[in-house]
Amino acid sequence: MEPAFHGRPADHHPAAHHVYLLQQADRRRHDLGSCQGLMGLDSMRAPTLRDVARHAGVSMGTVSHVLNHPQKVSESTIAKVRASIEELGFVRDANASSLAAGGSRSIGLVVIDLGNSMFVDVARGAQEAARDAGLNLMLAASQDDFAAQGENVDFFAEARVAGLLLAPLQDSSEQMRRFSARGRPAILVNYDPGDEGVCCVVVDNEQVGYLAARHLIEQGCRRLLFVCGDEAIQPVTLRRAGLRRAVSEAKGVRFEEVHTPDLTEQSGAALAHRVAARGPGTRPDGIVTVTDTLAAGFMNAAEALGISVPRDMAVMGCDDNRLAEPTTVGLSTVAMEGKALGGAAIRMLLEELSAAAGIPHVHQRIVVEPRLIPRRSTLGFERG
Amino acid sequence: MEPAFHGRPADHHPAAHHVYLLQQADRRRHDLGSCQGLMGLDSMRAPTLRDVARHAGVSMGTVSHVLNHPQKVSESTIAKVRASIEELGFVRDANASSLAAGGSRSIGLVVIDLGNSMFVDVARGAQEAARDAGLNLMLAASQDDFAAQGENVDFFAEARVAGLLLAPLQDSSEQMRRFSARGRPAILVNYDPGDEGVCCVVVDNEQVGYLAARHLIEQGCRRLLFVCGDEAIQPVTLRRAGLRRAVSEAKGVRFEEVHTPDLTEQSGAALAHRVAARGPGTRPDGIVTVTDTLAAGFMNAAEALGISVPRDMAVMGCDDNRLAEPTTVGLSTVAMEGKALGGAAIRMLLEELSAAAGIPHVHQRIVVEPRLIPRRSTLGFERG
DNA sequence: CTGAAAGCGCTTACAG
DNA sequence: CTGAAAGCGCTTACAG
C-alpha cells in the first residue's frame, strides 16, 4: 500500500480531489492579483485589513468601522467590505485589535482543578452567562497546583482580558493583586477573602458541614466521626465549624475528629483501615468526610474490610463531586451549585465592568445556599 | 451596622490596614518618579516596556531580550532589568508581543461540551501535556452548540494561537478550514475525518459498541436492545456497527434497534415507558444505550415502572460519563480514556509544529482502545 | 553585548 | 459617511 502522502487511492475520487485543489489555488491567485503588482506581495501571505481595504476600494478606517461600529457606515459600504472580507478570507488579528483598542472582550476564568465537578459546573455556568452577555470566556485549569494557578492568572493579565474570575482553594490575594494592578476587575469564586476589597461569590460552607452532620443525626447516628483533611483549605475549616454546630444543637450525640494528611482517596482508604481496626463496638456509626473523594476512598476500602455501608455505618461526603471515584452504593452528599456560582460571578463582573465608567463600585459578596442530596449511603442506615 | 464601604470595624485592625495603604501609595510615587518629569506621565498609567528600559537605563531591545532570549544578555544587565521589572510591577502585553513576534506560545482547545466527563478528561490530559511542554493551553467549551463551537474556533484563529485541538461531535471541516487557512496546525480529537488531510486522535468507537454488546452476551443476555439515538453523530454510527458485529459473532442472540430523538435522559426515560408497556415476556433482557446519559434516564425511570436492573434486565452505557445523572445501581459502561486522547493530541500537535520548519509533515491517526468497566447494572444479571 | 529604528495589524480621534 | 495619520506596546534584524 502506498504511503498516505503519495496521494489518495483511486476509490477515494482522486479527480474530485484534484479539482478542488485547483480551485483553491485559482482563487488565491485571483484574490490577491489586484494588489500583487503594487505591493510585491507573497501570494501566500494571509490577508490583512489593509488588503481588504484595497480590495474594497475604501480606507482601513472604514473596514475597521464595519467590523466594530457598523452603525457608523452606510449600507452599501458595509456590503462592499463584507464581500471583500469573505472573498479574501480575512480573519482579523485579535492581538492587534486589543493592542490598538486597549483591551479585549474576553474574560478569563482560572479554576484550580477540573477533577472536581464543582469547578466543571462553575465553568459551565460562567460559559453560559458569558455567552449570553456576548463575552468570550477563556478557561484555564491549574491541575490542583497553586503555582500553575498563579501562572494562569498572569497569563490572563498579560492577555489584557477585560476581567478575571478566580476559583482557588486558598488565599490567592498576592496573585490577584498582580492582576488587579492593571485596574481590571477580578471576582473570587468559591473563596471568601474575608474583607471588602474584592467581590466574591461563595457557597455557605459552614452550612455545608451543618447540613451533612444534621442529616446523619436525623438518620439516627449518635457517634459521629468527622474526617477533616488538611485544615489550610478554607472550605474544610468552615465545614468543620458547621459540623460542630449541628452536634451542639443535638442531644446525646458524641463526635470525634480525624485529620488526614490530604483529601485523596488513598487517605480515605487508610482511614477505613484505622476504623476497621477498632472493633465493632467502638466504631462510629456515622462518618462525614469533608470531600466526596475521601468518602469514596473510605467506602470502597471499607467494603473489603467487612464494614458494610450503610448497614453498619452511614457515610456522607461534601461537594457532590461526580468526578470522584464511583462508590458501590450511592454516596449522600451536599451539593455546591457550581453552575449558579459561575453564572452569578459573571453577572457580578459585568456589573463591575460597567460601573468602571465613573460610578463608584461597592464590592459585593453573594452567598449561595448548598443543597443536601441524600442517597443510599445514609438512607439505608438503621440504628442498631 | 455600618455599610461595608464606610470602612472596616475597629476589631479588624484598621491601623494596620491604613499603614498598608500608605505604603502602596508611597511606592507608586517613588517608582514612577524618575520618568515623570521627562515624560509627563500620568502616574496611574501602567508601566510599559519603555518605562522599564528607562528605569534600568537600557534600551527597549535589551529589555525584550531579557524577557525572551536571556542567554543573549549579560548577567549584570539581566539583574538590573529584572529589578526594574519587579520594582515597577511591569506586566508585558501579550497582545503586543504576539503581534510583533507574529505568533504566540498558546494553543487552543475547543471542546463541544463539558457536561460529558470524557471531554473534561480530554481537557485535563491536554492541559497536563501542554504544561509539560511549556505551552499555554486555553480551553473553550461550546455547550453542545455547533455554532458556538465555530465561534470558539474563530476566536482562536483571531487570537493567532500556535495550534488548535478540536473535539467535535460532527463534521467540522468547514470550521477547521477557516482556522487552517492561516497555516496553523489543527488536530481533531475524538472525531475521525476519514481522510488524510488532518491529524486526529480517536477512540475506536466500533470497538466500544463491540465490547458493550459482547459483555452483555457474556453475562447471558439473549434478547438485546440497542438504543441508538440520533445517527448523525459519528460515535453513534460506529458503536452501532460494533454492536452488530458482536451479535453476529454470537449464536442464538436476537437484537433489535430503537432510535431515540436525542441522547438525553428524557429520551432514556421515555424508552423505559415503552419497554415497560410491552409486558415481561417480550421485553429485552439486555440493553445497550450509545451513551451513559440515555442509560441513566432509562434506569432511573425503569425502577419506578417495576423493572429491576440488573435482576430483570442488564443495562450498559457507553462513555463512562461520570457527569451523567447518578443511577441507583452502578452503571456498566465502556470508557473512552479521554486523558490519553488529550495528551496524545498535544504531542501530535507539537510534532506538527516542529515539523512546520521544513520537513514535510505526514498526517497521522492515533487510535486509542476503549476499556470495559463492568459494574452492578450488568454483573447482577442472572439469566432467567 | 547593546542601541536605534522599522514594523507587526489594527483602532481611533481628527479633519474633511 | 469617509480618509489620512498617529499610535497601541512590543520584537527583531541590523549596525555598532
The reply to whether B307 and B250 lie within a common domain is yes
Cβ-7 Å neighbors of strand D: A 57-62, 65, 72-74, 76-77, 96, 99-100, 102; B 46, 48-50, 60-61, 63-65, 67-69, 90, 92-93, 96-97, 99-101
Q: Cα B147–B176–A104 angle (5° rounding)?
A: 65
What pLDDT, on a 0 to 100 scale, did the predictor assign at position A281? 81
Of all residues in chain B, what percent are helix, strand and coil, respectively (each to 5)? 50, 15, 35
Return the number of other C-beta atoms located less than 10 Å from residue A384's C-beta.
9
Is B256 a domain residue?
Answer: yes
d(CA B118, CA B111): 10
Q: What is the mean pLDDT of residues B328-345?
A: 95
Confidence label for A357 from pLDDT (cuts 50, 70 and 90) = low
In a domain, A309, yes or no: yes
Residue A67 falls within a domain, yes or no?
yes
Nucleotides in C strand less than 7 A from protein CB: 1-5, 7-13
Banded model confidence at residue A384, pLDDT cuts 50, 70, 90: low
| Mean predicted confidence (pLDDT) in B305-333 | 93
Cα(A84)–Cα(A92) distance, rounded to whole angstroms? 13
| pLDDT, mean of residues A143-166 | 96
Q: How far is B32 from chain A (nearest CA, A)?
A: 14
Would you say residue B71 lies in a domain? yes
- Nucleotides on strand D with an atom closer than 7 A to protein CB? 1-5, 7-13
pLDDT at residue B178, as a whole number: 87
Pick from A58, A92, A126: which residue ends a domain? Answer: A92
**In the listed set A92, A121, A150, which residue is the last one of a domain according to the structure?**
A92
Mean pLDDT of chain B: 86
On whether the CB atoms of residues A147 and A153 are closer than 8 A, the answer is no
Contact between A155 and B89 using a beta-carbon 8 Å cutoff? no
Find the residue closest to D7 using CA and C1' atoms: A100
* Domain CATH for B73: 1.10.260.40
Looking at the DSSP bridge assignments, the partners of residue B366 are B201
Q: How much is the pLDDT for B37?
A: 32
Contact A219, A379 (CB under 8 A): yes
Are both A75 and A162 inside the same structural domain? no
Same domain, residue pair B141 and B200? yes
> Is residue A260 pLDDT above 50, yes or no?
yes
Q: Are residues B303 and B230 in the same domain?
A: yes
Q: Is the pLDDT of residue B9 over 50?
A: no
Using the structure, give the distance in angstroms from the CA atom of B50 to the C1' atom of D16, rounded to a whole number.
22
- What pLDDT score does B44 carry? 66
State mean pLDDT over B231-236. Answer: 84
Average pLDDT, chain A: 86
Residues with CB under 7 A from strand C: A 46, 48-50, 60-61, 63-65, 67-69, 90-93, 96-97, 99-101; B 57-62, 65, 72-74, 76-77, 96, 99-100, 102
For residue B319, give the DSSP letter. B
Grid cell in block for residue A291: 470531600
Over the stretch A20-69, which tens digit does the pLDDT of each residue have?
Answer: 222 222 222 233 333 333 333 345 688 999 999 999 999 999 999 999 99
Task: Please write the tens of the pLDDT for every residue from A298-311.
Answer: 999 998 999 999 99
pLDDT value of residue A14 = 28
B224 and B120 in a common domain: no
The reported pLDDT for the residue numbered B186 is: 95
Nearest-by-Cβ selection for A158 from B94, B154, B330: B94
Residues B149, B36 share a domain: no
Q: Look at residue B40 and tell me whether its pLDDT is greater than 60.
A: no
What is the number of structural domains in chain B? 3
pLDDT in tens, A265-286: 999 999 999 999 998 789 999 9
H/E element, B163: strand B163-167
A309-351 pLDDT, tens per residue?
999 999 999 999 999 998 888 899 999 999 999 999 999 999 9
Assess whether pLDDT exceeds 70 at residue B118.
yes
Nucleotide nearest to A100 (CA to C1'): D8
SS (H, E, C) chain A: CCCHHHCCCHHHCHHHHHHHHHHHHHHHHHHHHHHHHHHCCCCCCCCCHHHHHHHHCCCHHHHHHHHHCHHHCCHHHHHHHHHHHHHHCCCCCHHHHHHHHCCCCEEEEEECCCCCHHHHHHHHHHHHHHHHCCCEEEEEECCCCHHHHHHHHHHHHHCCCCEEEEECCCCCHHHHHHHHCCCCCEEEECCCCCCCCCEEEEECHHHHHHHHHHHHHHCCCCEEEEECCCCCCHHHHHHHHHHHHHHHHCCCCEEEEECCCCCCHHHHHHHHHHHHHCCHHHCCCEEEECCHHHHHHHHHHHHHCCCCCCCCCEEECCECCCCCCCCCCCCEEEECCHHHHHHHHHHHHHHHHHHCCCCCCCCCEEEECCEEECCHHHHCCCCC
**Do residue A332 and residue A212 come from a single domain?**
yes
Predicted local confidence at residue A179, as pLDDT: 92
pLDDT greater than 90 at residue B280: no
Residues A214, A273 within the same domain: yes
Same-domain check for residues B113 and B76: no
Is the pLDDT assigned to residue B5 strictly greater than 90?
no
Pair A221, A327 in one domain: yes
Give the distance, in angstroms, between residue B73 CA and nucleotide D11 C1': 15
Residue the block writes with cell 467502638: A282
Both A41 and A72 in one domain: the answer is yes
Which among B89, B124, B143 has the least Cβ separation from residue A115?
B124
What band does B361 get if pLDDT is binned at 50, 70 and 90? confident
- Distances in Å between the Cα of B139 and the Cα atoms of A124, B353, B366 are 12, 19, 22
Query: For the residues B164-182, what does the mean pLDDT come to?
Result: 92
Question: Where in the sequence is the domain holding A161, given as residue range(s)?
Answer: 105-203+339-370
Q: Which of A87, A90, A95 to mutate to test the interface with B (most CBs of B within 10 A)?
A: A95
Mutual angle of helices B146-158 and A94-101, in 10-degree steps: 70
- Mean pLDDT over B201-206 rounds to 97
Beta bridge partners of B189: B201
Q: Does A97 fall in a domain?
A: no
CA-based nearest distance A127→chain B, Å: 7
Q: Residue B72 gets which letter from DSSP?
A: G
Separation CA B284–CA B226 (nearest Å)? 10
Q: Where is the domain boundary, A61, A92, A123? A: A92
The answer to whether residue B33 scores a pLDDT higher than 60 is no
Structural Rg of chain A based on CA atoms: 29
Domain-located, residue A98: no
Domain for residue B384, yes or no? Answer: no
Tell me: do A196 and A240 sit in the same domain: no
* CATH number of the domain residue B264 falls in: 3.40.50.2300
Within a domain: B97: no
